[in-house]
């Protein structure tokens, strides 16, 4: 079975699509993905000049996008948006620099109606860079648009 392109499941686009490749996908259960940090990415110029480091909030967003892959791959969720409902127990363990590849893994641990909960880890070369508990709400796109 071939894996879909992240753009087939997520509404995000450049420069805010933070998933380059889906490595593993279990609809409704979890996903593993990769994000390779290029030196020319927009945030490195200012975070921090002469010492570029990937902003932690973008790593957390990448973990959320990884979890959204699992949620959005279910047929009943197609066309919906997975929006943040909460972020807890975030820990950063190492900086992520240009040229490195982040291995993302987010497992969906439970869902109650439109609310879901996941646990994510981001590693680089086998070293933990970030871990977080994430919660999300699945909403119709018309609700997200204010309609």
Angstrom distances, CA of residue 107 to CA of 16, 26, 132: 21, 9, 11
Yes or no: say if 55 and 115 are a contact pair by the CB < 8 Å rule: no
Kind of pairing, strands 115-124 and 127-140? antiparallel
Non-local CB neighbours of 85 within 8 Å, separated by 6+ positions: 115, 135, 136, 137
Does 12 participate in catalysis according to the annotation?
Answer: no
Closest CA relative to residue 89, chosen from 117, 51, 50, 126? 117
Q: Catalytic residue among 47, 94, 97, 107, which? A: 47
Non-local CB neighbours of 131 within 8 Å, separated by 6+ positions: 89, 90, 91, 93, 119, 120, 121, 122
- The residue whose two tokens read 């450049």 is 14
Catalytic residue positions? 47
């Amino acid at each position: 079975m071939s894996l879909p392109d992240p753009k087939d499941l997520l509404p995000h686009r450049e420069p805010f699509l933070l998933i380059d490749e889906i490595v593993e996908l279990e609809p409704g259960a979890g996903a593993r993905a990769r994000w390779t940090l290029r030196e020319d990415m927009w945030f490195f110029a200012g975070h921090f000049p002469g010492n570029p480091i990937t902003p932690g909030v973008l790593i957390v967003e990448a973990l959320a996008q990884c979890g959204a892959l699992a949620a959005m791959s279910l047929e009943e969720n197609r066309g919906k948006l997975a929006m943040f409902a909460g972020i807890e127990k975030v820990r950063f363990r190492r900086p992520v620099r240009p040229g490195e590849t982040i291995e993302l893994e987010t497992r969906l641990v439970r869902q109650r109606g439109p609310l879901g909960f996941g646990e994510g880890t981001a590693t680089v070369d086998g070293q933990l860079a970030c871990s977080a508990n994430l919660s999300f709400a699945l909403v119709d796109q018309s609700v997200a648009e204010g309609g």
